[in-house]
Structure 1
């Protein structure tokens, strides 16, 4: 590894930022790897794997550490806690790293960070774990299946309880398994820039592993690459990064040529660009989001795609835009949510989200839906979607919307569950505004408080 950069020190800094300061793991990892872009591919891969692996297996790692530490996890110094967690991840999941090297590097790092007096503690705990790792058993599944699942899959118990209200134990274990598996980068081929066959040849010539999806044409799974920015085809707009489940949004919306599509929470822009592609360069997609930063992400993806029928606009979806009333053929509303469908890619969500926040997010979704449904033309489509697995944000909000706004009818809805190595969890509901919706709006005007609940 590099003589000027200590990879394990970078891992420590990332974990501290995520676990102690509340930063988002995918953002910190990306920014760190961009900052140290000159590191060799092997070193960058090590940093990414240890960080992601530690976060994905945090409850399991703490369970192991607690068996050999006289100090409770929550009583440890944050630096020591993070060093132990990442080191135990190496010991348990990375056979290529000699246990002695893992222990020695952990001790050195503790000293470097000013914890010389604790080097014996770090050394003792890790070497004891290393000697006994194969003999550590998980909680007894028969005695307490919830405790077993929580530790085995590093999932908070309250989330398991939430899911088991709506899904069978077999189904829940299925998507827990999906969350714990390695997720490839899913991309959609840009048919205006290349063909699937040409793109596969180009990527494979650069040593990138490419796999086609068995069901969906134009979808590829990529692995064994350094960073997207170093792939020429990415910069040239030949493909768009987007999860297979997320791709269903534009397909469900099914915009026709010449349509006006309003995407109200669009960042980073994958759904907007997909819709623009489906319209074959005709019509207009207006991709909106709240902040200047999010709009810049959309603009960057538009730039790469080379599409002229999509534009990015900064706007707050909670504030009505009277100029857009009944102007959109399609409104796409992929709204802020708890993100419980993407735990395979953003493992730290499971530790930061709470039941109370899920309830608040469901309320925010209703607030936005109240506003953006006004933009749909009679006969037009409102597509509501989230990347979560939570009935409170999905099916219950769908039922609420139908009861509050009878001018819309539900054409279809689906909760997509995650599949290992293939797709995230995602929810979609397609509403159509009735052609005679004016009579419902009249009812609303007579009862102005009807939608305030």
Structure 2
């Protein structure tokens, strides 16, 4: 074992602290890489259990290192194998932190004893590592090369090349290797975007507008936004710009009756309530009712009185549901391949047969809400998936033979196809698919609707 490199004037205490963090990250990686729970939930539970032991800097280092390992897993595996063995968790954690910019090569050398090959890496090959150059001959072209370079399952890259073409796939993979932006959505019921940005800037934050929607504000650096007084006052919510764009293309007008049929935590319900200017009604339901537990509190904080969480099994008791809705939003459960930058662990858990299994459930949900729509009303089907099985194929299955609905093109929402529109992931937003249909004939099956 060689003597660790030490930068001139280095702090032994800092080196010990960094070594402890790397060891901690290595220990977490050994557990989380085989866990079934999503990484964000797993880490959230872990940090809550250890909240008295871990400071904010520790939590940030650990979470960013873990996400870096998931984001660059194949690439790091190639280098780890080259440098000393693929099962060395401390080596993996060090490479993940290095690639994420949390430590330098010299800091790694200070924090951990290195073998001869790793010492040479720090002094000679670190720049190649950070430039995404491989220690061994990389595949020449095609899905194997892209899968290794951008750390994606090869089967997923191959199907994207087949479905979307190389001109679309490489930029997509480049987006997915970056950290997602921290985007908040102004609450227009309480404040304008300009005035909220001035508050953020006065507090010392570097923020900018996002051109995708009139409500989005992007923080240039990570920030504990949930601790801000402006959040507690209901002046903003954290919400991806693509998710905001979905609400914008609905074309809602004050006074309308809207059903958010797969509301989840209610982020879109809150924005729709604000777009309606506190007039009309948003009925929010979900097949997982526990998801709606905090929506009443969030709506109150936002100053919204037109957002109502409801029991999906008691829709017949709701007058607006009996009348028929002007708009129904089906933000369907999906594979989430449009959000893999935000959830990089998910790409290693997906299987190709999942898309067809999801399709069956998505068709059932979409068909189940249609009887609740009044004549002239519109239903919007949305996913955060890029896959055709979950998107165009669902719309074709549901509407291709129906005479009581007509499809409505969605202008200004990404790439338009015969069966819907796809908003591609970008530096500013996650990826979404959306399609709309208008009911042109009344039906008499209101009582038989179900999800």
State the TM bucket, normalised to the shorter chain.
Answer: 0.7 to 0.9
| Whole-angstrom distance in 1 between the partners of 2:52 and 2:174 | 32
The answer as to whether partners of 2:186 and 2:217 remain within 8 angstroms in 1 is yes
Which moved further from structure 2: 159-168 or 213-222? 213-222
SS in 2 for 1:84: helix
Partner residue, 1:432 = 438
Partner residue, 2:229 = 232
Matched, 1:18 2:32: yes
Matched, 1:309 2:306: yes
Matched, 1:8 2:14: no
Alignment of 1:115-126 (within 5 A): 126=118
Partner residue, 1:261 = 258
SS in 2 for 1:267: coil
Q: 1:330, CA displacement in angstroms? A: 1.1
Matched, 1:414 2:421: yes
User: Structure 1 pair 244/91, CA: closer, same or farther in 2 (3 Å)?
Assistant: closer
| Whole-angstrom distance in 2 between the partners of 1:23 and 1:149 | 27
Partner residue, 1:27 = 41
Q: 1:419, CA displacement in angstroms? A: 0.9
| Whole-angstrom distance in 2 between the partners of 1:6 and 1:141 | 34
Which moved further from structure 2: 382-391 or 190-199? 190-199
Which moved further from structure 2: 97-106 or 267-276? 97-106
SS in 1 for 2:264: coil
| Whole-angstrom distance in 2 between the partners of 1:225 and 1:379 | 44
* Structure 2 unaligned residues grouped into runs of 5+: 1-13, 410-419
The answer as to whether partners of 1:246 and 1:271 remain within 8 angstroms in 2 is yes
| Whole-angstrom distance in 2 between the partners of 1:385 and 1:105 | 47
Alignment of 1:41-440 (within 5 A): 41-69=56-84, 73=86, 76=87, 80-81=88-89, 83-94=90-101, 97-99=103-105, 101-102=107-108, 105=111, 126-127=118-119, 129-130=121-122, 132-134=125-127, 137-138=133-134, 143-315=140-312, 321-323=315-317, 324=321, 327-412=324-409, 413-420=420-427, 422-434=428-440, 436-438=441-443
User: Structure 1 pair 4/344, CA: closer, same or farther in 2 (3 Å)?
Assistant: closer
Which moved further from structure 2: 358-367 or 38-47? 38-47
- 1:21-74 deviation line (CA, Å, top 9, x unaligned): 2221122334445553885554443223212211111111112112234x5x4x
- Scaled by the length of structure 2, the TM-score of the pair is 0.83
The answer as to whether partners of 1:50 and 1:90 remain within 8 angstroms in 2 is yes
The answer as to whether partners of 1:394 and 1:427 remain within 8 angstroms in 2 is yes
- 1:114-171 deviation line (CA, Å, top 9, x unaligned): xxxxxxxx85775465454445643767723212211111111111112112212021
- 1:245-272 deviation line (CA, Å, top 9, x unaligned): 1112222222222211111111221111
SS in 1 for 2:140: coil
Partner residue, 1:116 = none
Which moved further from structure 2: 184-193 or 399-408? 399-408
The answer as to whether partners of 2:376 and 2:438 remain within 8 angstroms in 1 is yes
* Structure 1 unaligned residues grouped into runs of 5+: 108-121, 446-453
| Whole-angstrom distance in 2 between the partners of 1:265 and 1:15 | 33
User: Structure 1 pair 365/253, CA: closer, same or farther in 2 (3 Å)?
Assistant: same
SS in 2 for 1:365: helix
Q: 1:186, CA displacement in angstroms? A: 1.4
| Whole-angstrom distance in 1 between the partners of 2:27 and 2:373 | 47
For the aligned residue pairs, the C-alpha RMSD in angstroms reads 3.0
Q: 1:302, CA displacement in angstroms? A: 1.9
The answer as to whether partners of 1:281 and 1:309 remain within 8 angstroms in 2 is yes
The answer as to whether partners of 1:376 and 1:433 remain within 8 angstroms in 2 is yes
The answer as to whether partners of 2:22 and 2:94 remain within 8 angstroms in 1 is no
The answer as to whether partners of 1:185 and 1:223 remain within 8 angstroms in 2 is yes
Aligned residues: 415
SS in 1 for 2:344: coil
Q: 1:322, CA displacement in angstroms? A: 4.7
Q: 1:292, CA displacement in angstroms? A: 4.4
User: Structure 1 pair 43/207, CA: closer, same or farther in 2 (3 Å)?
Assistant: farther
| Whole-angstrom distance in 1 between the partners of 2:229 and 2:297 | 15
| Whole-angstrom distance in 2 between the partners of 1:293 and 1:16 | 31
